[in-house]
Amino acid sequence: MRAEAARESLKSKGIRLTRQRQLLLDLLERSGKHLDAEGLYRLANQLDPKLNRVTVYRTLKLLKEGGLVDELDLMHFEGDQHYYETRSKQEHAHVICLRCGKVEEFFGDPLQKLRRQVEAHFGFQILIARTEIGGYCAHCQVMREQEMAAAAEGKSQSKPVA
């Protein structure tokens, strides 16, 4: 996220963009992953060993309140864990594999069409939309089919003898 845009967004809410806050924003932007607070702390600590966990948690809360970061559930794949990403990307859906936890991002016209339909149908002004889609990735579909076939085969072989 551009430092100046981040600075202005936080300044409008009375929050200063410190070096550590900028570091965390940059890591979220460049990591290419959806990071939880602990993962973000580990990455940040490698670059700034003086940075502590409390600072990371407080900063995430501030950045979220400042409108620079979104907090995501990602289908609660890993329990109640929350993940973070910057809001600098265009609106997108998160597609989560419920077996392996792989997360993909989907961008495209269908999301904008859905947004327009919801706004028209309900007379609703959407300010933010988060879409999560849970299912099985191609690899996990194959693995599940193999597991189901093996389980079915095991049942047919374990029939009691009369």
Domain 90-162 = CATH 3.30.1490.20? no
- The string of pLDDT tens digits covering residues 123-136 is 999 988 888 999 99
- The string of pLDDT tens digits covering residues 8-59 is 777 787 778 888 888 998 898 888 788 899 999 999 999 999 999 999 999 9
pLDDT, greater one: 88 or 117 = 117
Q: Which residue in the block uniquely carries the two structure tokens 């996220």?
A: 1
Sorted by where each begins, the domain ranges of the chain are 1-89, 90-162
The DSSP secondary-structure symbol of 89 reads S
The DSSP secondary-structure symbol of 74 reads G
Q: Please give the mean pLDDT across all residues of the chain.
A: 86
Which CATH code fits 1-89? 1.10.10.10
Confidence band for 161, pLDDT divided at 50, 70 and 90: low
DSSP letters, 90-134, are PP-EEEEETTT--EEEE-SHHHHHHHHHHHHHHT---S---EEEE
Q: Return the number of other C-beta atoms located less than 10 Å from residue 95's C-beta.
A: 17
- The string of pLDDT tens digits covering residues 105-115 is 898 899 899 99
Confidence band for 156, pLDDT divided at 50, 70 and 90: low
C-alpha distances in Å from residue 10, one per residue of 6, 67, 77: 6, 8, 31
> What's residue 3's pLDDT?
60
